[in-house]
A and B are shown apart, each in its own frame.
Chain A
């Protein structure tokens, strides 16, 4: 699957935003029709039928609806990552042209922040979006500090009858930059807080699925068992190259790493080639340091790829700060 950035503008300014570095630096603000069609052809040639649209806030792109319907017409499954915050005009337009699709063609992940850090106006807009697109939407939440609250997410799921799933992301460090994230030594504490919601998840039959970069060993065997059951057997502790394509046709693997190993999409003939390139690069880094913990180097679960040893951005961040000469060698 490839993630395509429609625009680099955003309506929010989240303290943890691991995309911030990229948003601030790029010159081209939004994807053109011609680039979209090139990407669609590129993915089709690669045999890939899934595409994620993100940003910034993808719905800010003036052709958001056009692009989405075009891609669906090209037989792609389109997944949109949104804050749900959009103008009334865009919401009405989206409702008119997109709301009739089923989840086989189109789905949304609405990334929510805790109401305490959202304005009243933002919350109202999000509610309108959730009301209109409840049948296509799953919630997403990014954990960026050891203490956090999930209860409001459960209330939102119940209120709008959303899919009973929460996509849980971990905020990651941007190597060489400043953003909010949980340091490696705080992850176990974060896990305790997370586990404290298991009863609630079970009661409301909600599956908490992990996005990338979550290490397995922050949970006990018993907790892993409960997680396994909560997620109906689908449990991932991965950190694979997620391929992001920018509006300027630059490609990189994962937002936090966007400022260190960008390439042009035109350098590759297929998505498989892109994946191979970044997989090799990740392997090179992980040969240097296996994972976020010292034990990761010899951990059988990491070696068997049951767990990838946490987010590679932590490793790069460490190298960036502690061994800048070595990072230059890796990328030379």
Chain B
């Protein structure tokens, strides 16, 4: 048993081997959700089922029977609101968080629609260029919006976890923070992130290695070196927002017009949220 939450595909043999762990299941279809829920909970604790689909959100047929399943849906696009709207009552009852891709501009609007209708949601990034203005608008809506709305990730998570004196890594929202999550495949190969797993960049192999992952050299190296970039002479290490960005966009060539503006604004928002979180005491004038 490990303290990490394990992210893996649905494979009964593998699940049997990693008994008594909290598990996130990666799947691509909606057919076996109940079966996954039942089987995982036999010997593990199901943390969530992450469904990566190619179907637009509005075209997904949500089911009443999903009510007790912890679900995360990654969909490439919002789709047609009309097709989505008749399912709203049901979706609000579900234990669900919906993620849309940053690839399509309308998804930023779609997320605002979802949030305003009280549905927890988030944005996931892919390799396409990001529309930083839209991203900033969405962040502003989530943090500063005065009307009641559901959290939009990763903004809400980061703002609520932010500590001014330390680093805040929003990779957790995508289960890619190796301090909390580890990825494992059917071959029992273990990786720090989903991308590492896809690129065969493993830190160890075999479920037994999970027990002693804290002593794993690659894991220890990761922990020691994860903020190393801040010590190098590059643009990220001088960026005022490095504490929340952690150089995730270090490959961008034009940082001044992209990530730097956004993350600086985001840090202001996180500071604002932090002060709001911590200033609940009312100071009254003294006698």
Residues of A at the B interface (CB closer than 8 Å) are 33-34, 37, 40-41, 44-45, 63, 65-66, 69-70, 73-74, 93, 97
B109 touches A44 (CB 8 A): no
**How distant is B119 from chain A, measured CB to nearest CB, in Å?**
11
Given A40-B147, A69-B85, A93-B82: 6 more A-B contacts, CB < 8 Å:
A34-B109, A40-B116, A70-B113, A73-B85, A73-B117, A97-B86
B243 within 8 Å of A by Cβ? no
Instruction: Find A74's partner among B80, B86, B117 (CB 8 Å cutoff).
Output: B117
A44 to B146: give the CA distance in the assembly, Å.
9
A34 to B113: give the CA distance in the assembly, Å.
9
B50 within 8 Å of A by Cβ? no
Q: A93: which B residues are within 8 A, CB to CB?
A: 82
CB-nearest residue of chain A to B134: A34
CB-nearest residue of chain B to A96: B82
**How distant is B77 from chain A, measured CB to nearest CB, in Å?**
14
Instruction: Find A97's partner among B85, B88, B113 (CB 8 Å cutoff).
Output: B85
A37 touches B82 (CB 8 A): no
Residue with the highest number of chain A CB atoms closer than 10 Å, among B80, B82, B86: B82
**How distant is B117 from chain A, measured CB to nearest CB, in Å?**
6
Q: B86: which A residues are within 8 A, CB to CB?
A: 97
Q: A44: which B residues are within 8 A, CB to CB?
A: 147
Residue with the highest number of chain A CB atoms closer than 10 Å, among B80, B81, B86, B88: B81
A74 to B119: give the CA distance in the assembly, Å.
12
Sorted nearest first, the 10 A-B pairs with minimum C-beta distance are A66-B81, A41-B147, A69-B85, A44-B147, A33-B109, A45-B146, A66-B82, A37-B112, A97-B82, A73-B117
**How distant is B106 from chain A, measured CB to nearest CB, in Å?**
8
* Secondary structure call for the B interface: helix
Q: How large is the interface on B (under 10, 10 to 19, 20 to 34, 35 or more residues)?
A: 10 to 19
A323 to B86: give the CA distance in the assembly, Å.
56
A74 to B88: give the CA distance in the assembly, Å.
11
**How distant is A94 from chain B, measured CB to nearest CB, in Å?**
11
A41 touches B117 (CB 8 A): no
Q: List 23 A-B contacts (CB under 8 A).
A: A33-B109, A34-B109, A34-B112, A37-B113, A37-B116, A40-B147, A41-B116, A41-B145, A41-B146, A44-B147, A63-B81, A66-B80, A66-B81, A66-B85, A69-B81, A69-B82, A69-B85, A70-B81, A70-B85, A73-B117, A74-B116, A93-B82, A97-B82
**How distant is A308 from chain B, measured CB to nearest CB, in Å?**
33
**How distant is B257 from chain A, measured CB to nearest CB, in Å?**
22
CB-nearest residue of chain B to A100: B86
**How distant is A43 from chain B, measured CB to nearest CB, in Å?**
9
**How distant is B75 from chain A, measured CB to nearest CB, in Å?**
18
**How distant is B81 from chain A, measured CB to nearest CB, in Å?**
4
Q: A41: which B residues are within 8 A, CB to CB?
A: 116, 145-147
A73 touches B88 (CB 8 A): yes
User: From residue 74 to 111 of chain B, which have CB atoms closer than 8 A to chain A?
Assistant: 80-82, 85-86, 88, 109
Q: B145: which A residues are within 8 A, CB to CB?
A: 41
User: From residue 112 to 133 of chain B, which have CB atoms closer than 8 A to chain A?
Assistant: 112-113, 116-117
Residue with the highest number of chain B CB atoms closer than 10 Å, among A63, A66, A93: A66
Q: B116: which A residues are within 8 A, CB to CB?
A: 37, 40-41, 74
Q: A74: which B residues are within 8 A, CB to CB?
A: 116-117
A33 touches B147 (CB 8 A): no
Q: A63: which B residues are within 8 A, CB to CB?
A: 81
